[in-house]
A and B are shown apart, each in its own frame.
Chain A
Amino acid sequence: MNVFVKKNNRWLLLLGFLIFVIWSLYDTNFSLRDLAFGLPNIWYFISQMFPPDIESFPKLLKPALVTIEMAVLGTSFAIILSIPLGFIAARNMSKNKVTYILSRGIIAFTRSVPDIVFALIFISAVGLGPFPGTLALAVHSIGMLGKLYAEAVEEIDPLPLEAITSVGANSIQRIVYGVFPQVLPSFIATTLYRLDINIRSSVVLGLVGAGGIGFELLTSMRLFKYQEILSILVVIFIMVMGIEWISSRIRSKII
């Protein structure tokens, strides 16, 4: 890419983008006027939430724990499935075209189908609750983990691997000793990031009936228990921040 020449093109690109933005404002019924008139309603909604219903905290702990468990379990299953897929989907590891394309296909498919859709599918199979939510997170996470694992494997330095090959290592040893040490930091960073995402996703999945604190949020909203909604939001906030803190600690320790 040449940054300094052909400036005309850049102006055209910018102009095109501006036109698209204006078009989008129109298409999405964007209206500051409506928002201004609606402000009192927002105020009403928020004022109804205060003070938060402190008495509901104890009964929220279990659902919050379930949400975290869903995320951790879902991520763990996803890791187990994604590592082999990631290796098969790495161009420098996969000699077989069929398995390469197949694994790329699985990874792309699980990434493009939203986790909510997977949750609905699994709910129809096993009923409401955290179990289908966990399955949905596991399957959908393969899309991102598999892709980023494969990219990490593709970026390894081929030389240490060649050296490991030259000592007479078999294919399992080549992966364990030649590839794994090189991709481990990147695998861990990717996985922790996915865990962060899954904590938030598992809240959302609760809203469609897949258990955990999201399900409590759904119930309170249906019953217009505004004060309880606020206490649930506080719990979610603490939960998300806590997990992010823990994972950033792990990340800085390992990498």
Chain B
Amino acid sequence: MIHIENLTKIYGSCRAVDNISVDVKRGEFIGVLGASGAGKTTFLRCINRLVEPTSGRINLNGGKDVMKCGSKELLDVRKKVGMIFQQFGLLKRLSVLDNVLTGKLGYISPWNAICGFNDEHIEEAYKALESVELEDKALERASNLSGGQQQRVAIARVLVQNPEIVLADEPVASLDPYSANTVMKYLKKINKERGITILSTLHQVDYATTYTDRIMGMSKGRVIFDGSSSAVKDDVVERIYGVKHQTYCGEAEVECLC
């Protein structure tokens, strides 16, 4: 499903993502673990080129190398790759429904930007909200919702996108434990029920072992562990979050995200 070869991203002198090669099967739920600044976020954003990789190959679902896609083709790639963000990325002044509808933007014609949503899209958005159990909030302002609810709206936005892959960047890092578990359950649900392949960076090891099938451990831009979630024992965790390991290029990474 995802085939990545020698993916590298260099910021100045810092190799934020250092020569990563990885294969992901359809329907896998992968947790990407690592200390702050290990390069997980950059790695994730390289996959749909929200961050422009320095070099490497990315094949999604047997398609063309994402690195070689022109700007038009890149839009089609992104359409099939949903993304969840730590800070949700919702338009706070708009209604929940409007936010969910933006997931359909890749499907409406480029020149139809002003009023391009039809009844079918709206119905689909309501269905997506139903599947995260927020249909009664559809017409509320997004900013009125709690953090956990906002993240579920973000999941609904991804659902109307009808993606093959979802990249989740620290989806639960800003949430309380209860909301975090709810959000992880919904991710697990869309993974199992719709067969969507999910790659999620996570801070806490227990979320990764509880909800994901496979764990990639990153340190200094490299993959230092890759195996089944059940294989993750204390020694592996220690290697990933090694005491000796200080934040490697955290600042550079933060800068590039803006």
Q: Which A residues are in CB contact (< 8 Å) with B114?
A: 176
Task: Indicate if B196 sits at the interface (CB-CB under 8 A).
Answer: no
Cβ contact within 8 Å between B93 and A166: no
Q: Which A residues are in CB contact (< 8 Å) with B88?
A: 159
Q: Which B residues are in CB contact (< 8 Å) with A178?
A: 91
Given contacts A162-B85, A165-B50, A181-B93, contact A172 B102 (CB under 8 A): no
Cβ contact within 8 Å between A167 and B90: no
The 5 closest A-B pairs by CB, nearest first: A163-B89, A168-B106, A168-B79, A168-B78, A166-B83
Cβ contact within 8 Å between B110 and A170: yes
Instruction: For the complex, give the distance between the alpha carbons of A47 and B2 in Å.
Output: 88
Instruction: For the complex, give the distance between the alpha carbons of A163 and B91 in Å.
Output: 9
Q: Which A residues are in CB contact (< 8 Å) with B111?
A: 172
Given contacts A163-B154, A166-B50, A173-B113, contact A181 B94 (CB under 8 A): yes
Task: Indicate if A185 sits at the interface (CB-CB under 8 A).
Answer: yes
Cβ contact within 8 Å between A173 and B91: no
Given contacts A170-B75, A181-B94, A182-B93, contact A159 B110 (CB under 8 A): no
Task: Indicate if A160 sits at the interface (CB-CB under 8 A).
Answer: yes
How many residues on chain B are close to A (CB under 8 Å)?
33
Task: Indicate if B76 sits at the interface (CB-CB under 8 A).
Answer: yes
- 7 chain-A/chain-B pairs, Cβ below 8 angstroms: A163-B83, A166-B48, A168-B75, A168-B77, A168-B78, A168-B105, A176-B113
Secondary structure call for the A interface? helix
Given contacts A173-B110, A177-B102, contact A167 B161 (CB under 8 A): yes
Determine how close the nearest CB of chain B comes to the CB of A129; give it in whole angstroms: 36
Q: Which B residues are in CB contact (< 8 Å) with A173?
A: 105, 110, 113
Q: Which B residues are in CB contact (< 8 Å) with A172?
A: 110-111, 113
Q: Which A residues are in CB contact (< 8 Å) with B154?
A: 163
Task: Indicate if A164 sits at the interface (CB-CB under 8 A).
Answer: yes
Instruction: For the complex, give the distance between the alpha carbons of A157 and B80 in Å.
Output: 24
Q: Which B residues are in CB contact (< 8 Å) with A181?
A: 91, 93-94
Given contacts A167-B161, A168-B76, contact A159 B87 (CB under 8 A): yes
A sample of 13 more A-B contacts (CB under 8 A), given A160-B91, A164-B102, is A158-B258, A159-B88, A159-B89, A160-B89, A163-B90, A163-B157, A166-B81, A168-B79, A168-B105, A169-B105, A182-B91, A184-B93, A185-B93
Cβ contact within 8 Å between A169 and B87: no
Task: Indicate if B82 sits at the interface (CB-CB under 8 A).
Answer: yes
Task: Indicate if B34 sits at the interface (CB-CB under 8 A).
Answer: no
Give the nearest-CB partner of A170 in chain B.
B110
Q: Which B residues are in CB contact (< 8 Å) with A163?
A: 83, 85, 89-90, 102, 154, 157
Instruction: For the complex, give the distance between the alpha carbons of A178 and B105 in Å.
Output: 11
CB contacts under 8 Å to A, within B100-118, are 102-106, 110-111, 113-114
Q: Which B residues are in CB contact (< 8 Å) with A164?
A: 102, 105
Cβ contact within 8 Å between B102 and A162: no
Instruction: For the complex, give the distance between the alpha carbons of A229 and B104 in Å.
Output: 61
Q: Which A residues are in CB contact (< 8 Å) with B110?
A: 170, 172-173
Cβ contact within 8 Å between A167 and B93: no
B51-91, CB under 8 A of A: which get 1 and which 0? 00000000000000000000000011111111101011111
Instruction: For the complex, give the distance between the alpha carbons of A98 and B158 in Å.
Output: 37
Say which residue of A162, A169, A176 sits within 8 Å of B89 (CB atoms).
A162
Cβ contact within 8 Å between B78 and A167: yes
Determine how close the nearest CB of chain A comes to the CB of B113; give it in whole angstroms: 5
A136-164, CB under 8 A of B: which get 1 and which 0? 00000000000000000000011110111
Instruction: For the complex, give the distance between the alpha carbons of A40 and B114 in Å.
Output: 64
Give the nearest-CB partner of A176 in chain B.
B113
Q: Which B residues are in CB contact (< 8 Å) with A158?
A: 258
Instruction: For the complex, give the distance between the alpha carbons of A170 and B108 in Å.
Output: 10
Cβ contact within 8 Å between A167 and B106: yes
A231-244, CB under 8 A of B: which get 1 and which 0? 00000000000000
Instruction: For the complex, give the distance between the alpha carbons of A177 and B102 in Å.
Output: 7
Instruction: For the complex, give the distance between the alpha carbons of A178 and B94 in Å.
Output: 11
B190-216, CB under 8 A of A: which get 1 and which 0? 000000000000000000000000000
Determine how close the nearest CB of chain B comes to the CB of A157; give it in whole angstroms: 8
Q: Which A residues are in CB contact (< 8 Å) with B82?
A: 166-167
Instruction: For the complex, give the distance between the alpha carbons of A162 and B93 in Å.
Output: 16
Give the nearest-CB partner of B78 in chain A.
A168
Determine how close the nearest CB of chain B comes to the CB of A127; give it in whole angstroms: 39
Most buried by A among B77, B82, B102: B102
Instruction: For the complex, give the distance between the alpha carbons of A162 and B113 in Å.
Output: 17
Determine how close the nearest CB of chain B comes to the CB of A221; give it in whole angstroms: 49
Give the nearest-CB partner of B116 in chain A.
A173
Instruction: For the complex, give the distance between the alpha carbons of A100 and B81 in Å.
Output: 32
